[in-house]
C-alpha cells in the first residue's frame, strides 16, 4: 500500500506512540482489504457508550484506546459521537428512574464522554449524526455505527465503510483511513434487487412496517448492497431512517439504493451500474408478518417501557408521537421514552412538543439510547440496575426489538400506536 511521507512518519513514531499505534492498525486494515492508499476522511463517527457494559469487546476497546491515545492531545479531524449509556445529566430522567447520587457517580466514572470531548470530539451523542452534521455526495468519512453508515451512504451519497470503534478512533487520531470498499465508486452498485408485492402499499406503512421491511431484507442481503425499486420517492426522512437502519442489524448492509431518492440511483439501471442483480426478491405481507412474529416475545398486553427513537427520532417522528399522547396518561409504573439528539429536542422544547409529551408522563431524552441501559452488564456487583422492574418493552423499531430480544428481554414489537397503548393507564 502506498503511504505518504507523513503516513510513514506517523507509523515510525514521530508523532508519538499512540499515533504510531493508530497508524499501524489502519495500515493492517488497509493491507487486509488490499487498499492501495490512505485517504483523508472529512470526519469520523465514534461509538463510546462507556466501557464496562460490553464485556470482552469493551475490554479490547479499552486496551486499544488506552494505547492509541498515548501522547495524543487532539483528534486531527472532526469527530462526532454516538449516544452514551445513559444521560445522567438529565435531571428529569434521573428523578423519574429514582437514581441515587452514588449510582450517578458510578455511571459517571464509567463513561468516556469527557475523555473524547477533551480530544476535540463534538458532543452530539447521537446515532443519527447526519441530522446534525450534514455531509455531501462523494465525501469520504470514517466511523462506526451501522445506522450512520447505511444512511450516509444511501441518502447522502457520502462514502463510509462498516468500521469499529478502534478504527474510527484511529482515523480521528491520524486523519487517515484506507481507501477500500464503499470509498470506491466501483463497489457501490447494488447486488440484491428488492421489489414489493403489488398488494403491499408502502404509502400506508407505519414506522414499524418500514422497519420490518428493512429487517427482512437485511437477513437476505448479508453484506451486499441493495436496491429498493418500489419505494415512493416522497418517502419522509423519518421513514427512510426506519427502513434503512435495520439493514445493518439483521444484515451488514452499508448501502441501499432507493430508486429516485439515493443520489447515485436516479434509475434502477444506475443503481445496478448497468449490470444484472445477483438476486431478486419480492417482499409481501407474509414476510413482514414473519418479522413481527420473530421479534415479539411478550405475551402480556401491557408493557413496562415504550421505547421510541431507535435510531434517534427526527422532529417529525416526535411530533407524531406527541400528538398521539395529547390528553392521555401513562401508567405510574410504566415509562415512555423518545430518544433524539439535543439540537432536535431544543426545537421540540420551543414548539411546546416536549411539554405535551411530559404532560402525559413521557420523556424526550437526549444523548442516549432509549434501551441500552437494559442490556446485560459485565459485572452486576460493580454497576447498577437502572432498568429494574422493566420486564416488557414495547417498541416500533426492529433494532431495539432485536437487541433486547437477544438480551433475553420480553419485547412487544408493534406500531407506534400499539406501543403507546401498551403503557397507558
Ligand atoms: Fe441508536 Fe441506540 Fe438504537 S445507538 S440505533 S438508539 S441501539
Model pLDDT for residues 7-18, shown as the tens digit of each residue: 999 999 999 999
- Inter-helix orientation angle 285-295/398-406, to 10°: 40
Tell me which residue has its CA closest to atom 3 in ligand 1: 310
In this prediction, residue 52 carries a pLDDT of 47
Q: Which of 66, 65, 88 is nearest to 169 (CA)?
A: 65
In this prediction, residue 55 carries a pLDDT of 52
In this prediction, residue 207 carries a pLDDT of 97
**Substitution site in 207, 245, 310 for ligand 1 pocket (most atoms within 8 Å of beta carbon):** 310
Q: Which residues line ligand 1 (CB under 6 A)?
A: 82-83, 127, 147, 310-312, 339, 369, 372, 399-400
Along the 425 residues of the chain, how does pLDDT read in single tens digits? 999 999 999 999 999 999 999 999 999 999 999 999 999 999 999 987 655 455 555 666 666 777 888 999 999 999 999 998 889 999 999 999 999 998 888 888 777 788 889 999 999 999 999 999 999 999 999 999 999 999 999 999 999 999 988 899 999 999 999 999 999 999 999 999 999 999 999 999 999 999 999 999 999 999 999 999 999 999 999 999 999 999 999 999 999 999 999 999 999 999 999 999 999 999 999 999 999 999 999 999 899 999 999 999 999 999 999 999 999 999 999 999 999 999 999 999 999 999 999 999 999 999 999 998 888 765 555 556 788 889 999 999 999 999 999 988 999 999 999 999 999 99
pLDDT digits (tens, 9 = 90+) for 219-256: 999 999 999 999 999 999 999 999 999 999 999 999 99
d(CA 399, ligand 1 centre) in Å = 7
Q: How far is CA 320 from the centre of its chain?
A: 21
**Substitution site in 238, 400, 404, 405 for ligand 1 pocket (most atoms within 8 Å of beta carbon):** 400
Atom of ligand 1 nearest to the CA of 245: 5
In this prediction, residue 151 carries a pLDDT of 98
What distance in Å separates the CA atoms of residue 31 and residue 33, rounded to the nearest whole number?
A: 5
d(CA 274, ligand 1 centre) in Å = 35
CA geometry: angle at 132 spanning 40 and 318, to 5°? 150
d(CA 142, ligand 1 centre) in Å = 18
Longest CA span, the chain = 66
Tell me which residue has its CA closest to atom 4 in ligand 1: 127
**Substitution site in 372, 393, 395 for ligand 1 pocket (most atoms within 8 Å of beta carbon):** 372
Atom of ligand 1 nearest to the CA of 47: 4
Predicted structure pTM score: 0.95
d(CA 144, ligand 1 centre) in Å = 12
Atom of ligand 1 nearest to the CA of 370: 6
**H or E element, residue 178:** strand 177-178
Tell me which residue has its CA closest to atom 2 in ligand 1: 369
CB-based contacts of 207: which residues, under 8 Å, 6+ apart? 238, 239, 242, 317, 396, 397, 415, 416
What distance in Å separates the CA atoms of residue 286 and residue 205, rounded to the nearest whole number?
A: 14
Atom of ligand 1 nearest to the CA of 309: 6
How crowded is residue 165: how many other Cβ atoms within 10 Å of its Cβ? 24
In this prediction, residue 200 carries a pLDDT of 95
In this prediction, residue 115 carries a pLDDT of 84
**Substitution site in 45, 126, 127, 366 for ligand 1 pocket (most atoms within 8 Å of beta carbon):** 127
C-alpha cell, 221: 442481503
What distance in Å separates the CA atoms of residue 86 and residue 107, rounded to the nearest whole number?
A: 8
Atom of ligand 1 nearest to the CA of 83: 4
In this prediction, residue 102 carries a pLDDT of 87
Q: Which of 353, 374, 258 is nearest to 307 (CA)?
A: 374
Phi/psi at 120 (nearest 5 deg)?
Answer: 105, 5
In this prediction, residue 50 carries a pLDDT of 59
In this prediction, residue 282 carries a pLDDT of 98
d(CA 35, ligand 1 centre) in Å = 30
Task: Look at the block and give the residue holding cell 462523494.
Answer: 138
d(CA 313, ligand 1 centre) in Å = 10
Phi/psi at 406 (nearest 5 deg)?
Answer: -65, -25
What distance in Å separates the CA atoms of residue 373 and residue 87, rounded to the nearest whole number?
A: 10
Amino acid at each position: 500500500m502506498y503511504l505518504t511521507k507523513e503516513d510513514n512518519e506517523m507509523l515510525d513514531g514521530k508523532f508519538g506512540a499512540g499515533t504510531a499505534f493508530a497508524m499501524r492498525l489502519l495500515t493492517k486494515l488497509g493491507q487486509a482489504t488490499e487498499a492501495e492508499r490512505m485517504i483523508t476522511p472529512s470526519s469520523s463517527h465514534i461509538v463510546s457508550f462507556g466501557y464496562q457494559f460490553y464485556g470482552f469487546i469493551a475490554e479490547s476497546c479499552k486496551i486499544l484506546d488506552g494505547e492509541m491515545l498515548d501522547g495524543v492531545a487532539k483528534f486531527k479531524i472532526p469527530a462526532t459521537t454516538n449516544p452514551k449509556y445513559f444521560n445522567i445529566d438529565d435531571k428529569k430522567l434521573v428523578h423519574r428512574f429514582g437514581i441515587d447520587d452514588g449510582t450517578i457517580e458510578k455511571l459517571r466514572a464509567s463513561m468516556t464522554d469527557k475523555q473524547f470531548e477533551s480530544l476535540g470530539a463534538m458532543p452530539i451523542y447521537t446515532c443519527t449524526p447526519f441530522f446534525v452534521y450534514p455531509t455531501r455526495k462523494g465525501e469520504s468519512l470514517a466511523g462506526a455505527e451501522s445506522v450512520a453508515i447505511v444512511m450516509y451512504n444511501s441518502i447522502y451519497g457520502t462514502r463510509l465503510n462498516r468500521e469499529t470503534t478502534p478504527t474510527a478512533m484511529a482515523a480521528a487520531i491520524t486523519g487517515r483511513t484506507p481507501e477500500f470498499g464503499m470509498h470506491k465508486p466501483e463497489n457501490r452498485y447494488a447486488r440484491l434487487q428488492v421489489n414489493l408485492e403489488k398488494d403491499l402499499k408502502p404509502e400506508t406503512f407505519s414506522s414499524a412496517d418500514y422497519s420490518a421491511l428493512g429487517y427482512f431484507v437485511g437477513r437476505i442481503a448479508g453484506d451486499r448492497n441493495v436496491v429498493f425499486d418500489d419505494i415512493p420517492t416522497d418517502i419522509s426522512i423519518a421513514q427512510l431512517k426506519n427502513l434503512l437502519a435495520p439493514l445493518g442489524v439483521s444484515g451488514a448492509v452499508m448501502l441501499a439504493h432507493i430508486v429516485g431518492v439515493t443520489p447515485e440511483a436516479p434509475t434502477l439501471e444506475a443503481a445496478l451500474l448497468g449490470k444484472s442483480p445477483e438476486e431478486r426478491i419480492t417482499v409481501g405481507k407474509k414476510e413482514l408478518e414473519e418479522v413481527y412474529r420473530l421479534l415479539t416475545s411478550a405475551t402480556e398486553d401491557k408493557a413496562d417501557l415504550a421505547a421510541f427513537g431507535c435510531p434517534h427520532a427526527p422532529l417529525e417522528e416526535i411530533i407524531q408521537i406527541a400528538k398521539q399522547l395529547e390528553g392521555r396518561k401513562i401508567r405510574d409504573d410504566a415509562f415512555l421514552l423518545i430518544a433524539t439528539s439535543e439540537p432536535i429536542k431544543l426545537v421540540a422544547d420551543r414548539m411546546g412538543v416536549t411539554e405535551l409529551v411530559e404532560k402525559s408522563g413521557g420523556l424526550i431524552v437526549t444523548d442516549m439510547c432509549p434501551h441500552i441501559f437494559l442490556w446485560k452488564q459485565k459485572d452486576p456487583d460493580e454497576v447498577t440496575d437502572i432498568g429494574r422492574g422493566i420486564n416488557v418493552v414495547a417498541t416500533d423499531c426492529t433494532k431495539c426489538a432485536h437487541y433486547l430480544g437477544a438480551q433475553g428481554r420480553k419485547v412487544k414489537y408493534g406500531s407506534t400506536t400499539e406501543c403507546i397503548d401498551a403503557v397507558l393507564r
